[in-house]
Amino acid sequence: MSAAVYDSTNTVPIPKPSGYFNRNQKFFAILGPFHRRYLSELIVFLLDAPSIYLLLFIFAVVFTLTLLFWPFYALLGPSFTGKTVMSTMDALTTSFAGLFSQATPWTATNSASLFLVTLQSAIGKLTLSALTALLVLKVSRVPNFLIVSKSLLFHRHEGEWHISFRIGTLYNQVLHGVTARLHVNFKDPITNKKRYTLLDFSSNRFNTDFSIQGPMPINLRHLLSESPMSGVDFEKEEDVKACVSNFMLCVQGFDVSTGRSVGLIERYKWSDDTLKYDRGGAMDDVLVKLSEKEKKRYGKGWGVKFTAFNGVKRTEEMV
């Protein structure tokens, strides 16, 4: 019996298990379909999202557990002794206090009420421990203000064809030991075979570790005449799009203030317009000269215009 192969959503069987899949049917049969880890996805979302989302999540968990135990306290109210009879609102406050193992004016008098108090106390302690750990992870998480260009630009620069893009950091974050790796997936017109290879940058200092001093961005270029893709005719846009499939950019560095690693991965392809071909285009200028009033305010003569970070301008290379 042949193993079922699933697409990325794991819902639709692929009808033709050919090529690579044929050789690995046993592997897919053992592995089985992919199951989403909703809890893991939720934790990752809360760690990446603004802090208000985590605070709202904590409030929602406490509120839900309080409402969950409230009916049981109201039902077993006569089983608790105190100076007064437990009312409906008393049951609500007791349910809330029980999550934090706080003493209440009422005491359990039978096995059912004692079991309820013990169960809620155990669940409350486990929940609060998990929420506290999540909060600690959120607070200790290294801020990642690393940014890269939304698109890669094929263009002529100083008479030569280049691929250009920018990287930088927001909020004056400083990174040391930064490595940037640009990989390309393309069809070599000389050998007529697909290749996946690493591209070097025009400036050798960016091919090894370097630093990013926020907010100043860095322009990175790859010279195509000295590239593994040199066999492609870059004068013809249709040839470039036919040969070049996609790029993957990996950037990693160490935050100076914490010494911990930050990074990101960005993918570029023609289908989502993140690859741009513009013979006469160039990356827009991000450095702006400040006015006298701004110089006095910031103590600097130049600033960074981040609204132009992804911009493309026209140059004389159009001819």
pTM: 0.65
DSSP E strand boundaries for 58-208: 80-81, 107-108, 146-148, 152-157, 160-169, 174-188, 193-199
- Token representation of residue 162: 């280049």
Residue 175 confidence (pLDDT): 93
Name the DSSP letter for residue 79: G
Residue 20 confidence (pLDDT): 44
268 burial (CB, 10 Å; 0-12 / 13-18 / 19+) is: buried
Residues forming CATH 2.60.40.1400 domain(s) in the chain: 146-282
Residue 33 confidence (pLDDT): 54
Residues forming CATH 1.10.287 domain(s) in the chain: 39-140
Residue 274 confidence (pLDDT): 93
Residue 35 confidence (pLDDT): 62
Residue 178 confidence (pLDDT): 95
DSSP reduced 3-state for 228:
coil
Could you list the pLDDT tens digit for every one of the 319 residues in the chain? Answer: 444 444 444 444 444 444 444 444 444 444 445 566 788 888 888 888 888 999 999 999 999 999 999 999 999 888 888 877 788 899 999 999 999 988 888 888 889 989 999 999 999 999 999 999 999 988 888 888 899 999 999 999 888 999 999 999 988 889 999 999 999 999 988 888 899 999 999 988 999 899 998 788 999 999 999 999 988 999 999 999 999 999 999 999 999 888 889 999 999 999 999 999 998 899 988 888 888 887 778 777 788 888 888 888 887 654 4
- How many CB atoms are located within 10 Å of the residue 180 CB? 21
Residue 218 confidence (pLDDT): 92
Q: Is-contact 225 160, C-beta < 8 A? A: yes
What b/e string do you get for 141-172 counting C-beta neighbours within 10 Å, with b at 16 or more? eeebbbbbbebbbbbbbeeebbbbbbbbbeee
Residue 315 confidence (pLDDT): 75
CATH 2.60.40 fits 39-140, yes or no: no
CATH 2.60.40.1400 fits 146-282, yes or no: yes
